[in-house]
A and B are shown apart, each in its own frame.
Chain A
Amino acid sequence: MLKSISKNAALLGLFAIVTTGLVAFTSTATKEKIVEAQHQALEKALLEILPDGQHNNDLLNDYMEVHHPLLAHKNPQEAFFARKDGQPYAAILPSNAPEGYGGDISLIVGLRYDGTITGVRVIPPHSETPGLGDKIEIAKSNWILGFNGKSLENTSDKSWKVKKDGGEFDQLTGATITPRAVVKAIHNTLKYFDHNKEQLFRDSYALQHPKKQKQP
């Protein structure tokens, strides 16, 4: 009895070691490739909302974690900064629309330094209704492009709403809650950027160039 138990235990342990070893091996073997794939996907997503050719810094490595109630993230998320000859040019901020129909909707918002939107994209996964709320995805409809060129200056606070609520943004057929949440999140992101942009660009610059900082 005892013998069979210990034999089985040893066998189970052996299999645990072998299978874990296999997983560890695959993990190590694919690690670099995965990081590369993530990097590429990120680069593709970022350049899509920030038309290339204007900035000349390494956008992917010029980032800083941000966390603020207006951005509505549960955890700090990375913001990316584009500079032209060292001068602030544009930023890509992470944002979150917590009031989506199916909960959180992650967004990235591209902003020129003057506060004009260059592009917005929804980051999968989200839980909006397929066929209705998921039209916020660029793959499903062009709705999200309606934000391009908008800013706090050319669109008043009252207009940062869907048409149904008296604003100037289209709602989607059969889905009002989703666009309402996204419009609100983007409006909040603009307000955040407007208040904090100088600080953001300064802090991220300091983060990227620690040596140039003068020691007190």
Chain B
Amino acid sequence: MSDYSNIIKDGLWNKNVATVQVLGLCPLLAVTGSVVNAIGLGLATTAVLLGSNTVVSLIRGGVNDAIRLPVFVMVIAALTTCTEFIMQAYTFELYQILGIFIPLIVTNCCILGRADGFARKNPVLPSILDGLVMGLGFMIVLILLGAFREMLGQGTLFSNMDLIFGSAAENWSIKIFDNFPGILFLALPPGAFFGLGLIIAIKNIIDDKMDEIKEQKASPVGIRSKRVRVTGHIT
């Protein structure tokens, strides 16, 4: 059980694809201009990651080291192409907006990374979970970044959500600022770098705080304790 909870923690926080491994930057920076784009790419990436982890884990016994990489790449490429077809069929307008970044999921290092680093060595169930939470972790960062840039770059939030969720979502768009010209810098790719930097910085601050709290708990300063720790961490 603790194994599974570790996988979840790793995917969402400790080894988060975007903030810790810093993989998949190309789509991350390019399509996070709005929340709907972020969700679209996040879902597509998660789907491919989930599929490739599952397949790689299933075939892990039959593929030796010499040919494992080409096989993984083939699996990932096939799954990405299928995802592309499906998006084209059911979310055509979103597919047009995301354009080249859907086929480019093939080159997202995190997918081959999880296939080779995790799914190849683990049974199917943990691999599926790993693919799912790694994808979710990536998607959460995409959405945060998308929301940040959409709010300050365009002055709206959740605009065009009907591209994914159908006509029910047509009224989800929220106007945050009226007559807001938008901060151009944030709408452009440099704004994505800036936003991602902020997100990573905030994550690191939280990590530091957590460590501090943990440390304090681990070594409560007793009344009679006379030793003073000057350097180093408690192991």
- A residues sitting closer than 8 Å to B (CB atoms) are 4, 8, 11-12, 15-16, 19-20, 22-23, 26-27, 29-30, 33-34, 37-38, 40-41, 124-125, 129-132, 139
CA distance A40 to B89 in the complex (A): 11
- B residues sitting closer than 8 Å to A (CB atoms) are 33, 62-64, 66-67, 70-71, 74-75, 77-79, 81-82, 85-86, 88-90, 92-93, 96-97, 99, 153, 160, 182, 184, 187-188
Known: A37-B89, A132-B184. 8 other contacts (CB 8 A): A8-B67, A15-B74, A22-B78, A22-B82, A29-B85, A34-B89, A40-B92, A130-B188
Contact A11 B62 (CB under 8 A): yes
Contact B77 A19 (CB under 8 A): yes
CA distance A38 to B82 in the complex (A): 17
Whether A38 contacts B77 in the complex (CB less than 8 A), given A30-B85, A131-B182, comes out as: no
Residue of B nearest to A11 (CB): B67
CA distance A20 to B78 in the complex (A): 7
Residue pairs across A and B with Cβ atoms less than 8 A apart, 14 shown, are: A11-B71, A15-B74, A15-B75, A20-B78, A23-B82, A26-B85, A30-B85, A30-B89, A34-B92, A41-B92, A124-B96, A124-B97, A130-B33, A131-B182
Does more than half of chain B's interface fall in helix, strand or loop, or is it mixed? helix
Could you say which of A23, A124, A130 contacts B81, with CB atoms under 8 Å apart?
A23
CA distance A132 to B182 in the complex (A): 11
* Complex interface: chain B residues within 8 A of A38 (CB): 92
CA distance A11 to B63 in the complex (A): 8
Contact B90 A131 (CB under 8 A): no
Whether A12 contacts B81 in the complex (CB less than 8 A), given A37-B88, A41-B92, A130-B187, comes out as: no
Contact B187 A131 (CB under 8 A): yes
